[in-house]
Amino acid sequence: MTHSDMIRMTPDEKMKRVDFFVEADSFSQDQLYYKYGKSNRADAPEWVNDGEGFGKTIGNIGIGKGRPVTVHFSFAAIGDKYVCFYRALSRFVDWDMIEEYIDKNWPVKYDKGTRIARTDASNFVSCYNFCCEQEFENLDAIDEDWFSEMFTEVAEDVSNSEGLEELNIKKGKDSAVITFAINGGRYGLHRNNKITIKKDRVTMDLCEMVEGGDLEYGLKRKIEEKIK
Q: Are residues 39 and 110 in the same domain?
A: yes
Q: Are residues 151 and 210 in the same domain?
A: yes
Q: Are residues 149 and 169 in the same domain?
A: yes
**Rounded to an integer, what distance in angstroms lies between the CA atom of residue 143 and that of residue 139?**
9
Q: Please enumerate in sequence order all residues whose Cβ is within 8 A of that of 183, keeping only pairs 6 or more positions apart, or say none.
A: 162, 163, 164, 165, 189, 190
The reply to whether the predicted model has a pTM over 0.75 is no
Specify the pLDDT at position 42. Answer: 60
**DSSP structure string for 117-140:** SEEEGGGHHHHHHHHH------GG
Q: Are residues 45 and 123 in the same domain?
A: yes
Using one digit for the tens of pLDDT, what is the confidence trace for 33-75? 998 887 766 667 889 998 888 999 999 988 777 899 999 999 9
Q: Are residues 119 and 69 in the same domain?
A: yes
Does residue 154 carry a pLDDT above 70? yes
- Residue 172 is part of which domain span? 139-227
Q: Are residues 164 and 87 in the same domain?
A: no
Region 204-227 average pLDDT: 86
Q: Are residues 127 and 157 in the same domain?
A: no
What's the distance, Cα to Cα, between the start and end of the chain in Å? Answer: 17
Using one digit for the tens of pLDDT, what is the confidence trace for 161-194? 789 999 999 988 788 999 999 998 778 899 989 9
Specify the pLDDT at position 7. Answer: 77
Split into its structural domains, the chain has a count of 2
**Rounded to an integer, what distance in angstroms lies between the CA atom of residue 177 and that of residue 194?**
7
Residue ending a domain, among 132, 163, 189, is 132
DSSP three-state, residue 94: coil
Does residue 148 carry a pLDDT above 90? yes
Residue ending a domain, among 132, 147, 172, is 132
Does residue 30 carry a pLDDT above 90? yes
Q: Are residues 83 and 122 in the same domain?
A: yes
Q: Are residues 96 and 152 in the same domain?
A: no
pLDDT band at 157 (very low <50, low <70, confident <90, very high): confident
Using one digit for the tens of pLDDT, what is the confidence trace for 77-134? 998 899 999 999 998 899 999 999 999 999 999 887 899 999 999 999 999 989 988 7
Residue ending a domain, among 132, 148, 183, is 132
46 secondary structure, DSSP code = P
Alpha helices in the chain (DSSP H): 3-7, 11-17, 26-32, 95-105, 124-132, 144-157, 214-227
Cα distances from 214 to residues 5, 104, 157, 202, 221, in angstroms, run 32, 44, 9, 16, 10
Give the up-direction half-sphere exposure of residue 86: CA atoms within 13 A in the CB hemisphere. Answer: 25
